[in-house]
Amino acid sequence: MKTSIALAGILLAGTSIISAQAINGAGATFPYPIYGKWFEEFRQKNPSIEINYQSKGSGAGIAQLTEGTVDFGASDMPMKDEQIAALKVKALHFPTVLGGLVPTYNLPGLADLKFSSEMLAGIFLGKITKWNDAKIAKANPGIKLPATDIIVVHRSDGSGTTFVFTDYLSKISPEWKAGPGANTSIKWPTGVGQQGNEGVAGMVKQTPGAVGYVELIYALKNKMEYGSVQNAAGVYLKANLESVTAAAAGAANNMPADFRVSITNAPGKDAYPIASFTWLLIPSQIQDAQKRTALVSFLKWMLADGQKDCAALGYAPLPKEVVARELKQIAQIH
């Protein structure tokens, strides 16, 4: 008797899993911690909707969306025109949170180094090779700089982080734009490649004279020292959640209707220059009415209550202007 009840229970549990609406997505790894939290919180509020997410990388997310093996994608870089052309169903870009990148370096005793834009471009182009270079001294008056070699450390794995950083360098340096350019993987003019934020941070930490870039979240979680960066208005800013959100607000005025926008080197004196959105890619036509309703209600919840989770996890929340425009875009999902 007992076993038959248990069996019935298992069978019932089974049917409830089947009847729950399962939505599958794949893509960027950078927002995975907050996406995981969102999907779980949303499932608790709406037990009938279960959203599964595989953090396989932005490229894989776009590829799977194109093949139609997932219900939605996620990416750290906006889709390119040729990627959009390959889609069977038009996809809408929904910015979800913001991230920033910080320069990290290893110069014992020199805290809060200032990075001017010409200095960053020069270092990563391999044109500035010593720490006591005149351009570095110009940005850091009154600081005694050592005559050591600069060792550039960059990401070796294809990454949205590299895209954001090289996109920023392309905006501040014509030479960078014409040379290495912006992409998830590029041909680096100089330096050493390491895997992941932890690889770059580890290499910088143990190599005197090294400089690299890591995600702000990673730097905050690991209490790393990092430098301030000169923004488009000429102000030196240290990255934090406010200055990253300000970058999005600064760019909001010139934002295209489809949200495919880079907010690196954004205008405004409070805007941190190396910042980026990360996007959910939602098909504009969803045949399955249940899935459509579920995704729409998730998006609405994410833009309101979901945003409140950002700060605790180290992500910068979306500015109000962007949220308002995204709410309008939801109406385009049919």
Out of 23, 31, 34, 57, the residue judged to bind other proteins by CB under 8 A: 57
**Piece of the chain touching other proteins by CB under 8 A; list 55-63, 91-99, 213-221, 222-230:** 55-63
Query: In this structure, what token pair is assigned to residue 233?
Result: 């208005």
For the bound state, the minimum distance from the C-beta of residue 76 to other proteins, rounded and expressed in Å, comes to 10
Please name which of 282, 277, 268 lies closest in space to residue 310, comparing C-alpha atoms.
277
Out of 117, 184, 231, 265, the residue judged to bind other proteins by CB under 8 A: 184
Residue 195 makes contact with other proteins by CB under 8 A:
yes
Q: Between the CA of residue 35 and those of 38, 54, 68, what are the distances in Å?
A: 5, 10, 21
Place of tokens 């870089």: 77
User: Is residue 53 within 8 Å of residue 38, measured between CB atoms?
Assistant: no
Residue 180 makes contact with other proteins by CB under 8 A:
yes
Place of tokens 């609406």: 21
Residue 212 makes contact with other proteins by CB under 8 A:
no
Helix (H, G, I), strand (E, B) or coil at 115: strand
Out of 192, 220, 255, 330, the residue judged to bind other proteins by CB under 8 A: 192
Q: Between the CA of residue 226 and those of 105, 124, 198, 322, what are the distances in Å?
A: 7, 17, 15, 28
Report DSSP letters for 279-320, one per residue.
EEEEES--S-HHHHHHHHHHHHHHHHTGGGGHHHHTPBPPPH
**Piece of the chain touching other proteins by CB under 8 A; list 11-19, 196-204, 290-298, 300-308:** 196-204
Buried b (16+ CB within 10 A) or exposed e, 228-245: bbbbbeebebebebebbb
Sequence-ordered list of residues with C-beta below 8 angstroms from that of 231, at least 6 positions apart, any chain = 237, 265, 266, 268, 269, 271, 272, 273
List the strands of the sheet with 236-237, edge to edge.
Answer: 114-115, 228-230, 236-237
Sequence-ordered list of residues with C-beta below 8 angstroms from that of 292, at least 6 positions apart, any chain = 286, 333, 334
Nearer to other proteins, 66 or 230 (CB): 66
For the bound state, the minimum distance from the C-beta of residue 242 to other proteins, rounded and expressed in Å, comes to 30
For the bound state, the minimum distance from the C-beta of residue 178 to other proteins, rounded and expressed in Å, comes to 11
Interface of this chain with other proteins, residues 124 to 163, rule: CB under 8 A: 149, 151, 156-160
Interface of this chain with other proteins, residues 235 to 264, rule: CB under 8 A: none
Residue 169 makes contact with other proteins by CB under 8 A:
no
Residue 203 makes contact with other proteins by CB under 8 A:
yes
Nearer to other proteins, 213 or 298 (CB): 213
Out of 37, 56, 127, 135, the residue judged to bind other proteins by CB under 8 A: 56
Out of 2, 206, 223, 257, the residue judged to bind other proteins by CB under 8 A: 206
Residue 183 makes contact with other proteins by CB under 8 A:
yes
Residue 69 makes contact with other proteins by CB under 8 A:
no
**Piece of the chain touching other proteins by CB under 8 A; list 36-44, 181-189, 228-236, 254-262:** 181-189
Whole-angstrom Cα distance, residue 264 to residue 310?
A: 20
Whole-angstrom Cα distance, residue 305 to residue 156?
A: 36
For the bound state, the minimum distance from the C-beta of residue 30 to other proteins, rounded and expressed in Å, comes to 12
Out of 91, 123, 186, 244, the residue judged to bind other proteins by CB under 8 A: 186
Residue 83 makes contact with other proteins by CB under 8 A:
yes
Q: Compute the half-sphere exposure of residue 169: CA atoms within 13 Å on the CB side of its CA.
A: 28
Residue 54 makes contact with other proteins by CB under 8 A:
no
Nearer to other proteins, 218 or 298 (CB): 218
Residue numbers at the binding site for other proteins (CB under 8 A): 56-60, 62, 80, 82-83, 149, 151, 156-160, 180-188, 191-195, 199, 202-203, 206-207
